[in-house]
Structure 1
Amino acid sequence: MRPFLSVFWCCYKEDPADEAYDKGLRSYERYMANHQPEYLHDTIQNFQSCLDLHLETRRDSRARREPDSPDLSEKIVRAYLMLTMALLSQYEKQPTLANLQHLARVEPNLFMEWGTKRPRNYTYLSMLYNVATAYNRAYLQAISQPPPSPTSPSDPANDTWSLSPIDLYQRAHIGFGQIPHALNAESGMSGMSSMRGMVLSRLANLEVLRYYERGATYALDTAISYFKEAVQSFSILPADRLLLRECLDILATAYYKRFEIDPARNHQDLDNSISYYRNVQSQYNEQHGAEKMAWIKCSHHLATMLYKRYEINLQHNHPGPVGNGELPANRAALEDLKNAHDVGKEAKNVLDALTDDIISRLGLRETKEHEDKLWGVLAQHSTHTSAQSSRQPSPTPSSNRIRRKQFKASICCW
C-alpha cells in the first residue's frame, strides 16, 4: 500500500517552480505587513528560484524545438513581475548600487517578456513609472555626490558592471517617456490626466537636473515644454493641487534660469517667471507649518524677480546713471518696485518671527541671508524713490552700482 501511495503522491506533487512562487508570495505578504528585511530576502530568493526553474524548462523545450506553451509564458512573466516588484521594494528600503544593479539586470526582461501583449491595466504603467523613478532617484544621487577618490577602495559590484550618471539618466528618461504613449493606448482608463501630469513633470525635472549637471541650455527648453504640458494635464481635483503647485514653482524657476542665459533674447521669460511665481505663491499658506518654508522661498524669489524687472526697466528709461532730481519715467517699473517691496516685507516678517533653531531646522539659513540683503536693497530704493517724488536728491551713481552688486548676491539662492 505504501509504494502505491508514494507513487500517487509523486505524480500529484506540486511543481517545484509553483511551490517556490507560492513561498515567495507568502514571504512578500509578511514583508508588506511588518517590513522585516528577512522576509524580503526570502521573497527575492523564492521568486528567483521560481524564475530559474521556468527558464530551465523553456531552454529544454527550445532545445527540442518546441514552442513555449501559453501557460509557461504566463508563468515566466508572472515570476519576472513579482521579482521586479520585490527588487523595487529592496532598492526603496536600501538604495545601494548593488541593489540597483540587481534591479537593472531583471526589469528589462520583464518588459521584453510582455512585449506587445502587455496587460491592459495599470500594472504595466505602474511598473514603468516605478522602475523609472528608481533610476531617477539614483541619477539624482549620482550627480549630487562627489566622485569617489582614486585612492578609495572600489565597490566590488563596480568591477564588472557599473551604471554611470548618463546611463541612469537615459534609463529614467526612456521609462518615463514611454508612459504618455502607453496612456494614449489606454484611452478608457480613469486617472490618465493625473498620471500624464506626473510623468511629464518627472521628465521636466530630469531635464532641469541635466541643465544643472552639464549646463546644457537646450535642456531648459525641453524642461519648460514638459512643464507646460504637465500643467495642462493636471486636473482640478484636490489630489492634483499639490502636484500642480510644485510644477508651477519649478516652471517659474526654469523660466528665470533661461532668462539669465540670454536676457536680451529671453526677456519674456522674466515676465513668465513672475507670473508663475505669483500664481503659486498665492496657493501656499504661510501660516501652515508644512508649507511655510515653500512660501518663504517662493516669496523671496518673486520679490527678487520683481526687483530685477524694475531695475531693467529703470535702466531702459535711463541709459546712464539716474541724475539728481530725475524721476523714473516708467510707472510699470515703480509698480514692480512697490510690489517687490511688499512681497519682500511679508517674507522678511515671517522669517524674522522664526527662531534661529527653526530657521536652521527648516533649511532657511541661506534664504534668510539673501532675503536680508534683498530687503536692504528694496528699502533703500523705495526710500530714494519716495525722496525723488518730494524732489529730494536721488542715489548717486556709485550707490547704484553697490545696489546692483547686492542684488546679484541676493539671487544666488536657487
Structure 2
Amino acid sequence: MGSFFSNCCKGDPADELAFEKGLNSYQQYSTTQQPQCLQDAIQSFQSCLDLRLETRKDLAARGRPESRAFSEKIAKVYLNLTIALLSQYEKQPTPANLQRLAQIEPNLFKEWGTDHPQNYVSILYNVATAYNRGYIQATSQLPPSAFDPPNDTSILNPTELFSRAYARFAQILTVQDGVTGMTSSMRGMALSGLAKLELLQYQRSRSPSAVGDSHALDKAISHFKEASLSFSTLDEDKLLLRECLESLATAYYKRFDEVVNSGHNHEDLGMSIKHYRNARRKYNAQRDYREQTTWIQCSHHLAMALYNRYEINRHNNHLEQQRQGLLTVGNTELSANSAALKDLGEAREVETEAKQVLDALSEEDMISTLRLDDIKRNVDNLLGVLAEHSAHASAQSSRQPSPAPSSNAHN
C-alpha cells in the first residue's frame, strides 16, 4: 500500500511533512539566498511529489476515484517545485538545470488543465523566458558548464528549446485581459518574447551565402508592432516600451539592409528611423551608466540610419538631375536635396551628442569597464564621415546663390 495510507494514522502523512519542509526551506532561501536551502526545498518538494504520485497510482489500482482536493494537492506541489526549479535555473542557468525544469513544468499545466489560477500567466512567462535563455545559450556555442555532465544526451537541443519557448509565449496570448492577472503589459511582453525569438531565428539562418529566413523577420516586425501598442505610456511600462521600439527599429533596419529585392527597403529605413527616434525620446535626462550605455547605442543606430537615408536621397537626386540634363558633363559631384541635407544634419547632431557622453565616460575611465570600446570607435568613425560630408555640402552651398530668408525659419 502507498506511503500516504501507511502514514495516515501516525500524525501528518509523509507527503504533508515533506511539503511543509519544502515550504520552510524555500522561505529560508528567499531570506538568505543560501544555495543549500534551495536544494533542500527542491529535494523536499520532489519527495512530496513522488509520494503523492504513488498514492495516485494506488487509487487507480484500487479503482477508487481521486478527490478534487487531492488533485489540487498534486497541482500545488508541482507549482512549488516548478517555482523552486525556476529559481535554481536563474541562479545557475545550465542545460542540466533547464532539463530538470523541462521535465516538471509540463505536468503543472497538465494538472491545471483549463483552470487558470492567479499565478498561471506569471509562471508561463517565467518558464518561456527560461527556455528562451536556454535557446540563446545553446546557439551561442558557449563552452559547456562544469555543472553539466559530459555528453548528456538528455539535454534539450536548440530546436526543442525554441519550440518550447515559442509555445509558452504563445500560450500567454490565449488568456483574456483581466483573467488570472493577465494585463495589456503582459500581452506586450509575450508578443515581444515571440518577436525576439523570431529575430534570433532569422539571425541564425543567415550566412555569407544566404539572406536568411525573411519570413521570420517579417513575423518579428509584426509582433514587435503589436507589442508596442500593448504598452502604456506610464512609468512602469516606459522601459518595456522603449526596448520594444528599439527592437522594432532594429528589425526594420535589418530588413532594409539585409533582405534584397524586398520591394520596400526605403520604407523600412524610414520606419527604422521613426522608431529609433521614438525610443530615444523615452530615455531619462538623469542617466545611470546602464541608461547611458543603451542611449549611446540607440543614438548611434539612429545616426547610422539617417546617414543611410541621406546617401540614398543624395544619390537619387543626382540621378534625377542627370536624367533632366541639369548636370554638366564635367560636374561629377553629387548634389544633395534639402531632405538629404536635413538627414545629414540630424545624424551629425545625434552622433555628436553620443560623442559628448562618451567623452565624459572616458574622463571617468569607464569606457572599458562598460565595454564601450567598439561603440566609441564606431561613433568616432561615423562622426568623421559626417563631418566630411557636411563640409562638402557647405562648400557646394557657398557656390550657389543664397536662398531668400524664410519668415518661419525659426519655427
After TM superposition, give the deviation of residue 380 of structure 1 in Å.
0.7
1:192 aligns with 2:190: no
Between 50-59 and 12-21, report the one with greater CA deviation.
Answer: 12-21
Q: Which residue of 2 aligns with 1:373?
A: 381
Aligned residue identity for 1:24: G
Kindly indicate whether the alpha-carbon contact (under 8 Å) linking 2:299 and 2:354 is maintained by their aligned counterparts in 1. Answer: yes
Contact residue 245 and residue 280 of structure 1 kept, 8 A? yes
Distance in 2 (alpha carbons) for counterparts of 1:366 and 1:135: 30
Does residue 1:270 correspond to 2:261, yes or no? Answer: no
1:129-140 equivalence runs, <5 A? 129-140=125-136
Partner of 2:215: 218
Please show how residues 162-181 of structure 1 align to structure 2 within 5 Å.
162-181=155-174
Are 2:300 and 2:354, in contact at CA under 8 Å, matched by a contact in 1? yes
Alpha-carbon distance in structure 1 between the residues aligned to 2:38 and 2:356 = 50
Which runs of no fewer than 5 residues in structure 1 stay unpaired? 1-8, 393-414
* Distance in structure 2 (CA, Å) of the matches to 1:110 and 1:219: 30
What residue number does 1:243 align with?
240
Aligned: 1:334 with 2:334: no
State the one-letter code of the partner of 1:302. L
Contact 2:246–2:275 (CA<8 Å) still a contact in 1?
A: yes
1:237-285, CA deviations, whole angstroms, 9 ceiling, x for partnerless residues?
2100111111111111110001112375322000000111111112224
The superposition leaves residues 9-38 of structure 1 with CA deviations (integer Å, 9 ceiling, x where unpaired) of 983511111111111111111111111111
**Structure 2 counterparts to residues 64-79 of structure 1, below 5 A:** 64-79=62-77
Query: 2:308 aligns to what?
Result: 308
Query: Partner amino acid for 1:351?
Result: L
CA contact (8 A) 2:318 2:334 kept: no
Q: Is the 1:44–1:86 Cα contact (8 Å) retained in structure 2?
A: yes
CA contact (8 A) 1:325 1:391 kept: no
RMSD: 2.5
Question: What code does the residue aligned with 1:363 have?
Answer: R
> CA separation in 2, counterparts of 1:47 and 1:189?
25
Confirm whether residue 350 of structure 1 aligns to residue 357 of structure 2: yes
What is residue 112 of structure 2 aligned with on the other side? 114
Gaps of 5+ in 2: 1-6, 207-212, 401-411
Deviations 1:154-195 (A, max 9, x none): 95374341211111111111001100112x2x5456661111
Q: Which amino acid aligns with 1:280?
A: A
Tell me the SS of whatever aligns to 2:93: coil
TM-score if structure 2 supplies the norm length? Answer: 0.86
**CA separation in 2, counterparts of 1:351 and 1:99?**
40
Alignment partners' CA distance in 1, 2:49 and 2:8 = 22
1:147–1:360 distance in 2 versus 1, CA, 3 Å: closer
Pick from 137, 147, 158: which aligns with 1:141? 137
Measured after TM superposition, the shift of residue 71 of structure 1 is 2.1
Structure 2 distance, partners of 1:189, 1:21, is 25
Residue 398 of structure 2 is matched in structure 1 by 390
Partner of 1:258: 255
User: Which stretch has the larger CA shift, 370-379 or 345-354?
Assistant: 345-354
Compared with structure 1, are the counterparts of its residues 94 and 329 closer, same or farther at alpha carbon in structure 2 (3 Å cutoff)?
A: closer
Distance 1:256 1:359, change over 3 A: same
Distance in 2, matches of 1:158 and 1:205, equals: 29
Amino acid corresponding to residue 273 of structure 1 in structure 2: S
Alignment check: 8 A CA contact 1:286 1:296 kept: no
1:296 aligns to what? Answer: 296
Residues 108 and 335 of structure 1: CA distance in aligned 2, closer, same or farther (over 3 Å) = same
The equivalent residue for 1:99 is 97
User: Aligned equivalents of 1:23 and 1:157: distance in 2?
Assistant: 33
Q: Deviations over 1:345-368 (max 9, x none)?
A: 222232233327311112211111
After superposition, what is the alpha-carbon deviation per residue over 1:306-348, rounded to whole angstroms, capped at 9, x for unaligned?
1110110111121379964867252211111111122122222
Q: CA deviation at 1:287?
A: 5.2
CA distance in 1, matches of 2:80, 2:352: 54
Matched residue pairs, number? 377
List 4+ stretches of structure 1 deviating above 6 A.
none
Structure 2 partner of 1:400: none
Q: TM-score, normalised by structure 1?
A: 0.85
Percent of paired sites with the same residue: 58
Q: Among 149, 156, 173, which residue is 1:156 paired with?
A: 149
Whether the 8 Å contact between 1:274 and 1:305 is mirrored in structure 2 is yes
| 1:361 partner SS | coil
Distance change in 2, residues 1:26/1:380 (3 Å):
same
> Which protein is richer in helix relative to its size?
1
| Equivalent pair of 2:94/2:147 in contact (CA under 8 Å) | no
When residues 60 and 190 of structure 1 are mapped into structure 2, their CA distance, relative to the original with a 3 A threshold, is closer
Partner AA of 1:159 in structure 2: D
Q: How far has the Cα of 1:102 moved from its partner? A: 0.9
Q: Structure 2 vs 1, CA of residues 365 and 287 (structure 1 numbering), >3 Å: closer, same or farther?
A: farther
Counterpart of 1:124?
A: 120
Q: Does 2:225 match 1:228?
A: yes
> Alpha carbons of 1:344 and 1:201: their partners in 2 closer, same or farther (altered >3 Å)?
same
* Partner Cα distance (2:107, 2:150) in 1: 20
Structure 1 pair 287/375, CA: closer, same or farther in 2 (3 Å)? farther
SS of aligned partner of 2:47: helix
